[in-house]
């Protein structure tokens, strides 16, 4: 379905439901939306949420792929209302979703799919190395502050063709400079010109950084200088940077940036 998310064209939800696991989850927009969808009778949301929030149950709806265009290519955010690698999602179900995205026989492999997670440790071993083959899948992790940067390490160990960070909600400063000293044997070294000696090699293993403040009721403080630090590091390493509120009149001009991986 169409979406207001600025960095994709469509969202689909073959898997819905989640569990809060970190500070970034506190004001989860998907949890609030799931409660609304449950109350208007959407079947797949009936067990995944109640008045207290996520229940930990998962809803499955593989037919969600039927809503995508058969010919025109789109950037598709998959599972915006859940986490495909949640512990309640089985390996078989994960592989079933991936198969819908990558198999030409299904007629859907012309789209670009974006998977965003906080649980990269649950990628099935049967799929982990194959992400290098699946050129139409972009793999990302959500990182809300410096304490969550172990997720970036997990991302760099997966040989996806496009790897990205979603630093939203950004609830504290984050630096990526520690990647400069990260031992080269720990990441996949897929990028052209990689030799493990340049101080930017670790950062260049990322293909995209999205950043944005928390929004809505109860939003936590945000400082534009946090985003500027990220922007400058990305610029130095030639990594595309996307500021989520780039079109907001209150956003400083130097942060009205909307770049995508090439």
Look at residue 193 and give its three-state secondary structure.
coil
Q: Tokens standing for 8?
A: 């994709």
Nearest to 15 by CA among 73, 109, 105, 78: 78
Global confidence as pTM: 0.92
Residue 176 near residue 143, CB atoms below 8 Å = no
What does each of the 262 residues of the chain score in pLDDT, given as a tens digit? 678 899 999 999 999 999 999 999 999 999 999 999 999 999 999 999 999 999 999 999 999 999 999 989 999 999 999 999 999 999 999 999 999 999 887 789 999 999 999 999 999 988 888 998 999 999 999 999 999 999 998 998 899 999 999 999 999 999 887 776 655 566 555 555 555 556 566 788 899 999 999 998 899 999 999 999 999 999 988 999 999 988 899 999 999 999 999 8
Q: What is the CA radius of gyration of the chain?
A: 18
Q: What are the residue boundaries of the structural domains of the chain, listed by start? A: 11-112, 143-262
Residue 118 near residue 141, CB atoms below 8 Å = yes
Q: If 0-12 CB within 10 Å is exposed, 13-18 middle and 19+ buried, where does residue 130 land? A: middle
Distance CA 168, CA 9 (A): 18
């Amino acid at each position: 379905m169409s979406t207001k998310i600025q960095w994709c064209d469509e969202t689909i939800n073959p898997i819905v439901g989640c569990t809060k696991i970190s500070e970034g989850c506190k004001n989860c927009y998907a949890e609030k939306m799931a409660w609304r969808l449950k109350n208007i009778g959407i079947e797949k949301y009936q067990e995944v949420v109640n008045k207290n929030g996520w229940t930990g149950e998962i809803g499955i709806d593989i037919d969600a792929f039927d809503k995508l265009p058969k010919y025109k290519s789109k950037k598709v955010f998959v599972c915006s209302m859940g986490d495909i690698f949640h512990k309640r999602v089985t390996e078989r179900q994960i592989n079933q979703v991936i198969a819908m995205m990558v198999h030409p026989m299904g007629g859907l492999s012309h789209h670009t799919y974006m998977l965003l997670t906080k649980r990269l440790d649950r990628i099935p071993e049967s799929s982990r190395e194959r992400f290098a083959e699946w050129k139409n899948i972009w793999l990302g992790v959500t990182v809300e502050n410096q304490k969550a940067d172990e997720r970036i390490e997990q991302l760099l160990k997966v040989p996806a063709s496009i790897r990205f960070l979603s630093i939203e909600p950004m609830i504290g400063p984050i630096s990526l400079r520690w990647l400069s000293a990260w031992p080269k044997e720990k990441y996949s070294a897929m990028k052209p010109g990689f030799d493990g000696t340049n101080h930017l090699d670790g950062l260049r293993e990322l293909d995209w950084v999205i950043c944005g403040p928390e929004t809505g009721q109860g939003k936590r403080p945000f400082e534009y200088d946090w985003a500027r630090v990220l922007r400058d590091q990305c610029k130095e390493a030639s990594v595309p940077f996307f500021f989520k509120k780039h079109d907001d009149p209150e956003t400083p001009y130097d942060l009205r940036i909307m770049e995508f991986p090439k």
